[in-house]
Amino acid sequence: MHRILIVDDHAVVRSGLRQFLETAGEFDVAGEAARGTAALELVASGSWDVVLLDITLPDLNGLEVLKRIKEMRPQLPVLIFSMHAEDAFAMSALNSRASGYLNKDSPPSQILTAIRTVAEGNRYVSPALADRLLAGSLPSGVHLPHEALSKREMAVLLLLSQGLSLTKIGEQLHLSVKTISTYRARILEKLDVRSNAEITRYVIQHKLG
């Protein structure tokens, strides 16, 4: 039995998936989360074979959740299961090491095939997406400014957005104020913002915090 974690903010979707997958007889939906932060806590504390992850979540962007899952559990298969068209996010998800991308209106047989495929350690793309990839007709994906930040710069970004001073951030990360100031300057440049207030707005807008 494959242990599945479903991450979706709609209770009806989670309930429907649970009933559908457990009826198949080979999946154990052992956990559910409605928010990205809750999903990360479950990933950190539990044992999973596949994470079914929506992109639109109330607190964190699903692609950000994907990246953080991969930092914690690089080998854990994450299948993006979204209402968004493949054109919009498929390449961004795959480039962020998702094991596959599946639209929510996919037929039941395709959903089962996708989950089985990623549970076995393989990557899954729908037949339509595979055709477009081979034809080279799929957009390369949405690239956001914060994707250019290093792991350390992202940590500083999130702390700045919380209103912490450079001194406090330095203490928390065990770095000098001068080093934190350098990171802040790089962040301002990469995000094309001018102040901590704009940094905070950016974090809220993109659901990074």
Q: Do residues 155 and 179 make contact, with C-beta atoms less than 8 angstroms apart?
A: no
In this structure, are 119 and 71 located in the same domain? Answer: yes
Instruction: Give, for all 209 residues of the chain, the pLDDT tens digit.
Output: 899 999 999 999 999 999 999 999 999 999 999 999 999 999 999 999 999 999 989 898 899 999 999 999 999 999 999 887 766 678 888 888 999 999 888 999 999 999 999 999 999 988 877 776 766 655 555 567 888 888 889 899 999 999 999 999 999 999 999 999 999 999 999 998 999 999 999 888 887 87
Is beta strand 2-7 parallel, antiparallel or unpaired with respect to 27-33? parallel
Task: Name the domain boundary from 135, 155, 186.
Answer: 135
Task: Name the domain boundary from 81, 111, 135.
Answer: 135
**pLDDT at residue 136, rounded to an integer:** 65
Count of domains for the chain: 2
Task: Name the domain boundary from 135, 158, 191.
Answer: 135
| Domain of 27, in residue numbers | 2-135
Residues whose CB is less than 8 angstroms from the CB of residue 51 and which lie 6 or more positions away in sequence, other chains included = 4, 5, 7, 39, 43, 69, 76, 77, 78, 79
Is 154 inside a domain boundary? yes
Q: What is the CATH number of the domain that holds 168?
A: 1.10.10.10
In this structure, are 172 and 116 located in the same domain? Answer: no
Predicted structure pTM score:
0.70
Is 140 inside a domain boundary? no
